[in-house]
Structure 1
Amino acid sequence: MIRFVSAFCFILIVGEVFQVQCEPSKFVKEDKHLYDVVNEQASQKYFATKRKINNNDFKVSGAEAKKVWMYIRHGTRSLKRFEIPILTGLESVAKQVVESFKNEKSVPFSKNAWDKLKTWKLDVSVDRSQSHGKVDMITSSGKTELESVAKNYQGRFPSLFTNKYSPDQFHLLHSTEERCKESMEVFFGKIFGKNAAEGINGTVEGTEYEGIVEAYRVYVDSVQPGQRPANVELPKFQQLPAYKTMVERIVKEFRLKVTDYNTKQKLVSNIFDMCRYEEAWYSNHSAWCSFFKADDIKMLQYGVDLYNFYEWGYGIDQNNKIQCPTIRDMVKSFEGGAAPVTAYFTHIPEVSLHLVAMHAYPEKQKLTADNYGAMSKRVWQSSKLVPFAANFAAVLYGNNQVKFFMNEELVQLSWCKKGVCNLSDLKKNFSQCF
């Protein structure tokens, strides 16, 4: 039984035991700048980054668009199955933190974060009405992202994105993962009408297109032990004094009950993941983000980018050719009699590696564990470049000129003139794939 004795204290009665427990009366001011940094640097949602979209970039003087070839990452999703037991562990962390501060007058949280932390539970499917209670499915926010991108492209190219499906007009495929199937249905449901895309058989499993839509997965399955160098830069970064200082400060400030450094580091990484997920799902100032300062977010996101740079970025030479199947398919679709609209729904490794194969967004120097301080303006920022619903589009115009777009922004390649490329130059400049 609970009896309140003041605005901030209450008596908890268990049997004959009486305990006075007090709620904190002093909270820190919510740091809005922190959430600006989360959205700008670390959030995975498509609309977190302010994009400079110029619709005039989608036009070529004196020529109509003839074909569009698109490569699209699925929209914001709920958790993968393997992530659930890891992040469910934060429920006990939240209880432990609240317990350790329950009789303190002041806490290192805003009132909003404190109230959320007291009752926090992991939302496995995020929105059961949308995700049918399943894991690893597109969320409501993911559907909104995809529908907005679809609406934008239909508005720019209405003669290509017609409102009725025909296999002669549309070549649509998705990876074997359910979230990519659902992304295709949502995207083209916006084009054709609600539920109109659900009957389209776009699976690539067992077809010649499996190595195009799932090129990275096919590559990984073929790699023999020792053929690919280990991804060592992130572990090195996490052992640097500055990184360790950040981890130890967070553990101490929030009274996290972990002892050895590796366990501390993994817990901080899990908290960061939960912060990023909840901001992508809800945009509601996740309580988990309040464990960090703005500089912490930047350092943790650099760790994410560091891993991605070597796994599916410019970090190793082998990555230059992994996505050659998509380069060849793109060029072939423009040179031959392919459908006017080609759209493949895939994953972050494939979209990232397609950019690498195109030599788009190159870094002047490699990201390493030791040059974090010099890389604040790096091009390879995965939260901006390949967030959920990231979309690449190649557009062929009537005068055999091509423009490339990433997340609806014009891609500038060194061999093109102000973003306008000649179709005849594609094979020469993507020579590693031909």
Structure 2
Amino acid sequence: MDWKIFQLIVLYIGYLGLSVESQCLENNDTHKCKLGTKTPYRLIANLNDSLINYPGCIEKKIWLLVRHGTRFPGKKYVPIMMSKLPHLQELILSSYVANRSRLMPDHISQIAKWKLNFAEDAVMKLAEEGEREMIDLAERFQSRFPTLFPEKYSNLTYKFKYTATQRTEESAKHFALGLFGLQGSKDVWFPEPEYRDPILRFYKRCQRWRKEVDKNPKAYEEEQKFIQSSVVSDTLKDISSFLGFQVDYEAANLMYTICAFETAWYSNSESAWCNVFQPKHFKVLEFAEDLKYYWIDGYGYPLTYEQACPALRDMFNFFQSKEDANVTAYFTHSGTILKLLSLIRVAKDIEPLKHDSYTLHEDRRVWRVSMIDAFASNLAFVLYDCKSKNPAILVMHQERIVHLPGCPKNMPCPLSIMKNLYPDNEEECQFDTMCGLDGNV
């Protein structure tokens, strides 16, 4: 076996742990597992909620970071969906009538019946599926760590916080509903959210990152070069032949996006738009999205993940504080999750993702936002008091145990090792300096 392939397999197994309960781990070939950041959490969730025990260790605290649940589209997409999807619908139906399409009759019937089914004022708001994701997630964590998550709420035990958005606020409240029930969740206290929260949305405060990465066209070059590549060009020709009319990348991506959203919103029905693609098309569209997030929110630029150190430092401070709280639960966004994952080196491929590496990475990359950054994605750090190793930390991503580089396997990582591996104090996490907030850009 090629050594690099072997290393990738080891990384993949280490990242996923031993759990194979999710649909996408059992059957990764389905298009539902290739929907990027719009993938519904139910497809990747670890449904094994049995107690997590380590001999000689007692769990003491948990620091939990959760991306909001399934939401409705943002204001950038809604007008485009409302104007362009009905036009594409007409083209698909006309092409079928003219006998130019290779779509199946039942798929055409679904397209013919389709209507955009959400209110314009629902923009960016949490969907019903997102509410369920939060309730279920809370219940599973409570089952795994019952001593950390008592069923009766106390503001001395629990610390909740969300960003200044409806989708994270509602996510936090439904997570509380899963922990305490309808009546008990009414007693939960949430602090006033900050617009640019220094822990939950640190990147909104990092002027240098916003200028040099987020707003820099160069940071999007790999994605754009891939979109202009022969791989994408051949894919668009194939989709055009399949549908019977010319399809450009913008149209293909729009249909891919509504397929993803509707798959997330409706657990009991199929999106009509998913049928306009074949399995190989989903692979290409997913890779384009992975490239974007790799270079904007992931490993592409060191500043991108180094700026996540305030969140990691907050975790270390919480674990070393003498306060009574044993749960910190933060509700945030995709950008926070991906940057922090990159800082702790989770889902890191041996070779960087580039526009010309599709063949290399097609079926064996670990940076797949469909798996690592679905709706309701989460990252948990659990503090243990162990007789042999003293304080130690267990890391979980998507409710699965993660073995971090430099840490022992099959057990929590000693706090001393974690502190050596990652920035845990102000001297090692000089956010203002790296982000140009002290005047030194």
TM-score exceeds 0.5: yes
**In the alignment, is the contact (CA less than 8 A) between 1:117 and 1:287 conserved in 2?**
yes
Structure 1, unpaired ranges of 5+: 1-33, 127-132, 259-263
Query: Does structure 1 retain, via aligned residues, the 8 Å contact 2:134–2:376?
Result: yes
Residue 205 in structure 1 maps to residue 200 in structure 2: no
Quick one: distance in 2 between partners of 1:288 and 1:197?
Answer: 38
> For 1:38, which of 22, 31, 41 is the aligned residue?
31
Question: Could you say which residue in structure 2 is the equivalent of 1:143?
Answer: 131
Letter in 2 for 1:348: S
Listed one character per residue, the Cα deviations across residues 304-350 of structure 1 (whole Å, up to 9, x for unaligned) are: 10111011111111123121110100000001124210010000110
Distance 2:179 2:360 in 1: 44
Q: CA deviation at 1:54?
A: 7.7
Q: Report what 2:263 is aligned to.
A: 279
Aligned to 1:386: 373
- Confirm or deny: 8 A CA contact 2:101 2:242 kept in the other structure: no
2:415 aligns with one of 423, 431, 434: 423
Q: CA deviation at 1:219?
A: 2.3
TM-fit CA distance, 1:255: 3.3
- CA–CA distance in structure 2, aligned partners of residues 346 and 256 of structure 1: 41
1:227-261 Cα shifts (integer Å, max 9, x gaps):
96522101000111121111123224323466xxx
Separation in 1, partners of 2:158, 2:111: 47
C-alpha distance 221-136 of structure 1, shift in aligned 2 (>3 A)? farther
Size of the alignment, in residue pairs? 387
Please give the alpha-carbon distance, in whole angstroms, between the structure 2 residues aligned to 1:163 and 1:138. 25
Change over 3 Å in CA distance of 1:214–1:45 after alignment to 2: same
1:268 and 2:252 correspond? yes
- CA distance in 1 between counterparts of 2:87 and 2:350 reads 44
Q: Distance in 2 between matches of 1:245 and 1:313?
A: 28
Specify which structure has the higher proportion of helix.
2
Identity %: 27
Deviation at 1:125, TM superposition (A): 4.5
Contact 2:135 2:174 in 1 (8 A): yes
Partner of 1:85: 79
Q: How does 1:95-106 map to 2 (within 5 A)?
A: 95-102=90-97, 104=99
Relative contact order higher in (CA < 8 Å, ≥ 6 apart):
2
Instruction: Give unmatched runs, 5+ long, in structure 2.
Output: 1-26, 431-441
Residues 1:139 and 1:405: Cα distance change in structure 2 (over 3 Å): same
SS at match of 2:237: helix
Give the Cα–Cα distance (whole angstroms) in 2 for the partners of residues 153 and 125 of structure 1: 33
Between 1:215-224 and 1:340-349, the stretch displaced more is 215-224
With over 3 angstroms needed to count, the CA separation of the structure-2 counterparts of 1:91 and 1:414, relative to structure 1, is: same
C-alpha separation in 2, matches of 1:337 and 1:374: 49
**Deviation string for 1:369-426 (max 9, x for gaps)?**
0011111211111010110011111001122111000011101112211152111222
1:217: Cα distance to partner? 2.2
**2:72 aligns to what SS in structure 1?**
coil
For 1:275, give the aligned amino acid: C
Counterpart Cα distance in 1 of 2:212 and 2:328 = 35
Shift of the alpha carbon at 1:52?
8.2
Q: Which residue of 1 aligns with 2:273?
A: 288
Q: Who is 2:14 aligned against?
A: none
Q: Does structure 1 retain, via aligned residues, the 8 Å contact 2:297–2:339?
A: yes
